[in-house]
Amino acid sequence: MNKREITSVLIDYNSSAELENIYEELINNAKEAAKKAYAPYSKFKVGAAVLLDNGAIIKGNNQENAAYPSGLCAERVAIFYANAQYPERTIRAIAIAALTSSGFTEEPIPPCGSCLQVMLESEKKSNSSIQVLLYGQNKITSADSIKQFLPINFTNDMLM
């Protein structure tokens, strides 16, 4: 038997003012996107903003549907739209914010497993890490790659 220890490195910031200006702008775009989410069933509105290597910011938000699970998460809406509009561009960063009837969540919320897998595919496709910024009123959590959330991951290399 061999024991392996896997660690992830996450950085917590007290406010967006501690971040580079572009990341602060990205978080604000994610918050704006959350306000426009279509979440009549869960009332849990999520916004995502993707920063591309050309400086473009693409926003997405969760889209629910009465026929569960036909909806789509904010992260995938933003990433798929970015890939459809800018197929040759690289995603540099993604910011995610969640809004409830009480306001933005106090703690940052992580992406779901499906979104992490899509984000991982984007990293693999571009051979470049994606900076992840998770917004919460109490702190902002940052990671330098999706692999910090998904250290043991499934990629196309395993299909061969």
Rg of the chain in Å (alpha carbons): 16
Query: Is 6 domain-assigned?
Result: no
Domain that holds residue 65: 25-155
Instruction: Note the pLDDT of residue 152.
Output: 87
Instruction: Note the pLDDT of residue 153.
Output: 82
Task: Give me the number of domains the chain comprises.
Answer: 1
How confident is the prediction for the chain on average, in pLDDT? 95
Query: Is 142 domain-assigned?
Result: yes
Distances (CA, A) of 30 to 48, 56, 134, 143: 4, 14, 10, 16
Q: What is the pLDDT of residues 5-25, one digit of tens each?
A: 999 999 999 998 999 999 999
Query: Is 4 domain-assigned?
Result: no
- Stretch 60-85: mean pLDDT, rounded? 96
Query: Is 66 domain-assigned?
Result: yes
Is 24 a residue of the active site? no
Instruction: Note the pLDDT of residue 156.
Output: 76
What's the CATH number where 58 sits? 3.40.140.10
Distances (CA, A) of 151 to 116, 128, 146: 11, 16, 8
Query: What's the pTM value of the predicted model, to 2 decimals?
Result: 0.94
Query: Is 7 domain-assigned?
Result: no
Catalytic residue among 24, 32, 75, 123: 75
Per the listing, tokens 């036909």 go with 70
